[in-house]
Amino acid sequence: MENPSDSELIFQYLNGTTDAFGVLVNRYTQLVYRFVLKVLNNNNDEAHDVTQETLIKAWKNIKKFDRDKNFKPWIFTIAQRTALDFLRKRKNISFTALDDEKEFSFEQNIPDTEILADEAFERDENVTLIQNAFEKISIESKMIVLLRNGEDMTFEEIAEVLDKPMNTIKSKYRRALSVLKKEIISQSAPKQT
């Protein structure tokens, strides 16, 4: 089978095909990393750690996964909870620099985020506007926007990930977009001297 579904891969893994979980890791590492990176305000080292922890938790709990459900919301539920736990702990723990060892295979799947110098100059202003605007909304609202726009999840899937009613998710999404729009407009308006 060329492109097995997530459920088929989980079934294969649980029945002894250890490589099947590796295929799932390859399929979701970039998606989880990109989401976590944005939640953690573009801190690469922290995003690597949280992505790794997410994948380890998924591996440890794969037997509990309900194969009648969609795997993507399940792994993103783990990712968002792990990121929130990390943010809570960050306030109390100081971190030392990590060695540049490449011992975890998931890092091979994380895209190179470096851009060329001329691209950096053009993007810098817009990135700053967006990052500043994102600071004006709650972490939950930020996750909703990222899951909806960045991961193309349905409101139903986001409700499952965040364990909230779908109407609450839709309402928070609309409010977050409104706040983001107002912030970006106010920041990009020419300053009067």
Nearest CA-CA partner of 162 in 178, 142, 179: 142
Asked whether the domain spanning 114-193 has the same topology as the one spanning 1-113, the reply is no
Predicted local distance difference test score (pLDDT) of residue 95 = 40
User: Which segments of the chain have a pLDDT < 50?
Assistant: 93-112, 115, 117-118, 120-122
CATH class of 114-193: mainly alpha
All structural domains of the chain with their residue ranges: 1-113, 114-193
Which CATH number does 1-113 carry?
Answer: 1.10.1740.10
Predicted local distance difference test score (pLDDT) of residue 81 = 93
pLDDT digits (tens, 9 = 90+) for 56-90: 999 999 999 888 889 999 999 999 999 999 988 87
Q: What is the pTM of this model?
A: 0.70
Predicted local distance difference test score (pLDDT) of residue 174 = 92
